[in-house]
Structure 1
């Protein structure tokens, strides 16, 4: 039986997996003129064992809307704007948030909730980094986006 690593036909380097989600994050922030209050990047395993392959993941947080209803409307407006810029829905990605994808990166707009002061957008790259390991994945690192 083939391992997950053996199934990756066109691997990405750790730098490429990082660039994949960072570029998508920059595009979303720029397109929406989104004020980012916090951002973090990390490499995440694509399986429950923490083994390769890995993918780049990015989290950006932005200011909360005054109410949950305002947040829903804000997310709808943001995703409509992104769809006009080439992002599409991704019916295969299951989430409680609003899911878009472009260039093989998935963006999930999480619903605003009472336990987190800022809503977030999570970016998930492709599971094609076979170089990163449990030992080399590192810790989440703060990032700045325009």
Structure 2
């Protein structure tokens, strides 16, 4: 191969790498993102309802004394762009040093529609339950007398929530 041909080949590979690499993305970060175009995107209210309703069901099923609940939006890719999903973080009272994660997960999994483990495509740590594409990870909290639960909705909201702050929803979760 001549020097000119090697340079042309190297230039073609550089262009190909520049064009193809960004197209790969990180779709593995968002398995619940619809790969099927027939799956409809969720509105903000639907996305919010997924995780708030799930939080209420979990609290009721496990009889939790909630000290704090926060709702926030998070992106489902590493570019910080749509699609987004909603996330609820719960803190609850537990006896100091006692990890009730497995007991809570079992109580929730016994409820209609809920199953043990994550939805297909996810491999989170800890005690996990799911209902459809909505899943919750249950574990210790940020101090010895608290437990924590993170509830994740589906990556199907295509509105731009990059500048959306979290909202405290403790009263809403406790109330019903």
TM-score (ref. length: structure 2): 0.69
Query: 1:50 and 1:42 mapped to 2: Cα distance?
Result: 14
Aligned to 1:41: 71
Match 2:166 to one of 124, 132, 140: 140
Matched length = 137
Q: Which runs of structure 2 are paired with 1:20-35 in the superposition (5 Å)?
A: 20-35=50-65
Aligned to 1:76: 102
Residue 48 of structure 1, CA deviation: 1.1
Cα deviation code 1:26-77 (max 9, x no counterpart) = 111111111001110011110111100000100000124322xx31xx2221
Aligned to 1:13: 43
Once the two structures are overlaid, the 10-residue window that deviates more, 58-67 or 119-128, is: 58-67
SS of 1:41 mapped into structure 2: strand
Query: 2:24 and 2:159 mapped to 1: Cα distance?
Result: 17
Structure 2, unmatched stretches of 5+, are: 1-22, 28-32
Aligned to 2:5: none
Question: In angstroms, what is the RMSD of aligned CA positions?
Answer: 2.4
Residue 119 of structure 1, CA deviation: 2.1
Larger radius of gyration: 2
Aligned to 2:155: 127
> CA, structure 1 residues 6+93, in 2 after alignment: closer, same or farther (shift >3 Å)?
closer
> CA, structure 1 residues 15+78, in 2 after alignment: closer, same or farther (shift >3 Å)?
same
Aligned to 1:102: 131
> CA, structure 1 residues 2+92, in 2 after alignment: closer, same or farther (shift >3 Å)?
closer
Structure 1, unmatched stretches of 5+, are: none
Query: 2:125 and 2:66 mapped to 1: Cα distance?
Result: 22
> CA, structure 1 residues 19+6, in 2 after alignment: closer, same or farther (shift >3 Å)?
closer
More helix by share: 2
